[in-house]
Amino acid sequence: MEPKGAPAQGPVKQGDGAKVERQTIATKPFRTHLNRAGAGNPEAIVFLHGSGPGASGWSNWRLALPVLGTVYDCLAPDSSGYAASEHPPVPPTGTTAWMDLWVEQVVSLLDTLGLGSVHLVGNSMGGAIALQLAHRHPGRIKRIVLMGPSGAPFRLNPKLDAIWGFYARPSVELMTEMINWFAYDPKAFSQDLSEIARMRFEAAMDPQVRRTYQAMFPAPRQRYIDDYVLPDQALAQVTHPCLIIHGRDDPIVPLETSLYLLQKLPRVQLHVFGQCSHWTQIEYPEDFHNLLLGFFRENVR
């Protein structure tokens, strides 16, 4: 059974963009709920969401999928342990075990769908997963976009600690407050952010989602940031073209993470948005989409 707040199966259309199809795919080690737009297009992009409570592929990428799906085969799975993807009956202990599971899930999804190599877009925790995929399975990855990525060292801040510790005092008011942190000027996006907060709170309060999430990020939480970091030698071996996008005013994953990766990744460029927090794809959607289209088009023939 899908958790509360999970999107229904079937097509969704936004404006004049591509239809988004929702389906459940048999993957290893657990079944994956997938949002997909543009199936059949020759180039594929896998969008990886972040780690907040109630997070899902749809809540993170609902604006990008219809737009980029007109050109690319766009895949936004719910990472195992999140939203409508299958949850482990016994949640793994520790970041390394979860990362192994998420990497296996994406590779299995590509195998199941018959996709050889793909582009990646990873936000926050999804950025760390993208880097791990490129390091462990370099032949399956073409180009990488990292948006407000973890995967670099930084100190745990009060906002990220509160996000990971949401279930200490869960409420729709706290969820709304947290989602507002993701935008520099929440009032400018109040309708979008309110809808995302409602969707994510509903998903987060599903007992299965809650059980898994509480097992995923118990205190103390600095260790999860540290465990996401690839060693410098491994980052130097990620030779795929990389575009990093970051909000200058991100209070959750600070700009310093992208500046660090700018120094460590060989083929990398960085685009920084002023007056922007953690969700560039919501605050500057047209610019975000155009950056991705320009970056990925270099590989389209």
Q: State the catalytic residues.
A: 124, 250, 278
Q: Strand, coil or helix: what is 242?
A: strand
User: What is the Cα–Cα distance from 244 to 298, expressed in whole angstroms?
Assistant: 16
Kind of pairing, strands 118-123 and 20-25?
unpaired
Using an 8 Å Cβ cutoff, are 71 and 293 in contact? yes
Helices within the chain (DSSP H only): 57-61, 64-68, 95-113, 125-136, 158-164, 172-181, 190-204, 207-216, 222-228, 232-236, 256-264, 280-283, 285-297
CB atoms within 10 A of CB 179: 27
Whether the bond between 220 and the residue before it is cis, its omega within 30 degrees of 0, is yes
CA 159, 190, 287 angle in degrees (round to 5)?
85
